[in-house]
Structures are given as structure tokens and as C-alpha cells.
Amino acid sequence: MYKHTDYYKTYGRIMQFNKNKKEPIHRWYPFVEGYSREFIQSIVAEMESTDLMCLEPFSGSGTTALELQNCGIPCFSFEVNPLMYLIARVKMERTYDLNKFDYWYDYIVRERKNANVQLITEFNTLYQGDGKKKWNYDESVAVGVEKLKSVIETIPEEIYRELYKVALASILLEVSNLYRNGKCLSYKRDWKEKKLTEEDVFTKFDDKIKKEIRVDISNLGYTTNVNNKIRLYNEDSRIGIEKKIADNSIDLVITSPPYLNSRDYTDTYMLELKTLGFTKNYNEIKMLREKTLRSHVQIKWKDQSSVNNKLLYNTLNELEQASKDTEAWNESIIDMIRLYFVDMQNIFKVLYRKMKVRGRVYFNVSNSAYFNVLINTLEICASIAENEGFKVLEIRDARNLKTSPQQKEKVEKLLEGVIVLER
């Protein structure tokens, strides 16, 4: 066991994205699986100097790099999902001009009414249609969304085209018949009765623009020149970091990888990916999934590799035993667990090479449970990192997460924490 430090009070509230929903710019897209800007600030406050070069291997909606940019600290970041990548790009853009913003908003409002759209898609249940039992958008909602999308696509200035695309992305779930239900999308209980119109879509879009984005743009004021947008890559970090980052160049890593909870971000954000053309067909969805960290069972992984680690080995044995007595909802669960740690090892390996001596890593992750067996992800990751050469300074215990009803019998709660490493 590594040294655990009680951070329940300090981190309890700030390990969630929720707090960002009231913060300028951070609030532009209601992300779920992130942490707050205060978490980043608390780490910066621990540093002896702010003359740092940082790296974020799993950018998500860009909380780390945006907040570091606000503190005047450069940060490279990697994100495999094109939707998250766009959101982070848009939030880090520094040159918005209120007059131009208003000009393009007026353009959208003027053009959208008469935009000529057709509801054509390769995704069976995206739009309402004859003979379908379920659909993500009612027809009039789909027309409203498509009208906005088609007008936004004609904006010639990239930064405004991207900004308005994110604004549209941020209201899609609300106007659809779906909600985010943990790791998947489910139909809202009243979806058949709830009838929204094209006008409702426009109103929600306008509210987002007027009540949040315009307010934040009119208050923009930068005190430093740091631009982390130019350091953001839409790439698989397992490959990208090696190519893009110089050895011995990084002082600080702050990150939160996908947890070992079988959540596939491609699934969770499927509505936005399909609607906005990030993935055009089922094959593109599969290709995107293949590039993600192996924290889910949406792909049948064929890789036989494993990590030589005693704690992991014991856990995998325990899981093999327990799985014999329990019916699994997916036969690839144990492969996923094994390969998740192979990915973790690769990440620690490359981070070790890229970091300067005495550089720090803050790695936010949580434990998991399958077949009523606890997977001590925090301890296993710490031990893998140590094998790669890092010194484990401590594990900061942040909060306890609920286990799923199937795991409750033996595993009551799951610890979420922050592993602090030194190169």
C-alpha cells in the first residue's frame, strides 16, 4: 500500500465538472466526466514557480489546458474524440471579437429560416421516419437542427464557424429524445408526448448564445500571451505524445484518463458525433472506438499482452475465479481490464521519457469493481508507474463513488483519488 493522504475535504467538491457549469468559457459545453478549474488551480498553487511546461494526455473538454492558459502556463494536450477536441479548441481561442461574433449571429438568425435542408443520414434511428419505432429527434426538431447546422457551415471565418458549432452541440441533447444515462444514451420517459418545434430549437440556441457565450466574450480579457490551442492535438495520446513532445521537456502533467468503468466516450457523445458529421457512418464510429483507451468492451480486443505486475496478476486471478460463478454481461470484461493496464503502462513509459527530472504527475483516477471483485486501480497504476521509474509521492483520497447494484454485495464504494508521482 502506498501512502494515502486524506483529501476528502479539499478535493471532494472540486473533482467534478459540475462546478465549471457556472464558470466563464468552461460552461460553454456541459461536459460530465471532467474535473473543475479549481482542481487545476489548487495544483498550480502547490508549484514553486509558474515557469512550467505542461502536458495533458486526455484533454476531454479542455479543462486543464484552458485553466493553465488562464494562469499563463503553456500546456500540450491530446484528445482522440473529434467533438471534445473541437470543444477544447473553441474554448482556448483567444481572438474573438464581439462585433464579428454579433455579425455572424445575425447572419445565422437571418439565414436559418429559409435554409433548405433534407433529412438524410446513414444512422437508422437519428431522425423520425416512416416505419420507425424509435428516433433521436422528432422531424421538426431535426429540421431546426439541420437548418442551424447548414447555415453555420457556410460561415467563412473558421473561429466563428467552430464556435457556433459548439453552441449547437451544447443544446442537442436537450432538444433530442435522449438523455445521458451513465455510460449510454437512453430515451427520456416522456419522449413520445414531448413535442418540440423548429422554433424551440432556435430559442434554445439563442439562449445559449445570449445568456452564456456572448456574456463571456464581452468580458474576455487576457493578461498573458499563452495560447494552448496551438498545442492541442486531435490524436491518440498513446502514439501522439512520442511524436510531438521532446524528451525531458515536461515539468507537470495533470490528467484524468478514462476510468476502468466500461464507459466508451464514443457512445456517450454519439448523438453529437452523428448529428454534426464527426462520424458519418457506423464504420467511422468503429474506427474512432479503436483509437480510444481500452476502458470499454465495445471492441473485441485481440491483443494478448499484459503487464508484469503482482497486484494486477493477483486481481486478474481473483476475477477469473469469480467470473466462473457469475454470469457476465460481456465476455470481454477481463480482457478489457488486462488491456487497460497495458495502456496505462504505455502512458507512464512515455511520460517518464518526456518529463524533466523532478517533474510531477497528478493522475486522477478511481477504483472499479467487476464480479464483486475490487480492482484497486489507484494502487495498480501507482505500482506500474513506479516500475517505469517514477517515485510515488502519495495517493490523495478524494471521494467515494457508488458501486453498481451488481457489485454492492462485496464492494460497497469505490475510491476516487489522485496519484502524485515524481520523475
Give residues in contact with ligand SAM (CB under 6 A).
Answer: 17, 31, 33-35, 58, 60-61, 63-64, 78-81, 84, 236-238, 256-258, 265, 291-293
State whether the Cα torsion 363-290-123-145 is positive or negative: positive
State the Cα–Cα distance between residues 342 and 294, nearest whole angstrom. 9
Q: Whose Cβ is closer to ligand SAM: residue 60's or residue 74's?
A: 60
Task: Please provide residue 356's backbone torsions phi and psi, each rounded to the nearest 5 degrees.
Answer: -80, 160
Q: How far is the CB of 289 from ligand SAM (least distance, A)?
A: 10
Q: How far is the CB of 240 from ligand SAM (least distance, A)?
A: 7
State the Cα–Cα distance between residues 145 and 133, nearest whole angstrom. 21
Can you state the angle between helices 198-208 and 139-153, rounded to 10 degrees? Answer: 50
- Enter the DSSP assignment of 224: S
Q: Whose Cβ is closer to ligand SAM: residue 257's or residue 359's?
A: 257
Q: Whose Cβ is closer to ligand SAM: residue 147's or residue 238's?
A: 238
Q: Whose Cβ is closer to ligand SAM: residue 81's or residue 275's?
A: 81
Cα separation values, 85 from 89, 166, 215, 231, 318, Å: 6, 11, 23, 12, 38
Q: Whose Cβ is closer to ligand SAM: residue 34's or residue 74's?
A: 34
Q: How far is the CB of 233 from ligand SAM (least distance, A)?
A: 9
Q: Whose Cβ is closer to ligand SAM: residue 100's or residue 289's?
A: 289
Q: Whose Cβ is closer to ligand SAM: residue 76's or residue 104's?
A: 76
Q: How far is the CB of 293 from ligand SAM (least distance, A)?
A: 4
Q: How many CA atoms lie within 13 A of 148 on its CB side?
A: 28
Q: How far is the CB of 318 from ligand SAM (least distance, A)?
A: 26
Residues 6+ apart with CB under 8 A from 295: 257, 258, 259, 260, 261, 262, 263, 264, 336, 340, 343
Q: How far is the CB of 38 from ligand SAM (least distance, A)?
A: 12
Q: Whose Cβ is closer to ligand SAM: residue 78's or residue 101's?
A: 78
Q: How far is the CB of 203 from ligand SAM (least distance, A)?
A: 28
Residue 273 grid cell: 458525433
The runs of H, that is alpha helices, within 178-281 are 198-208, 214-218, 237-244, 265-268, 270-275
**DSSP letters spanning 387-414:** HTT-EEEEEEEEEEEEPPTTTTTT--EE
Q: Would you give the distance in Å from CA 53 to the centre of its chain? A: 22
Q: How far is the CB of 106 from ligand SAM (least distance, A)?
A: 32
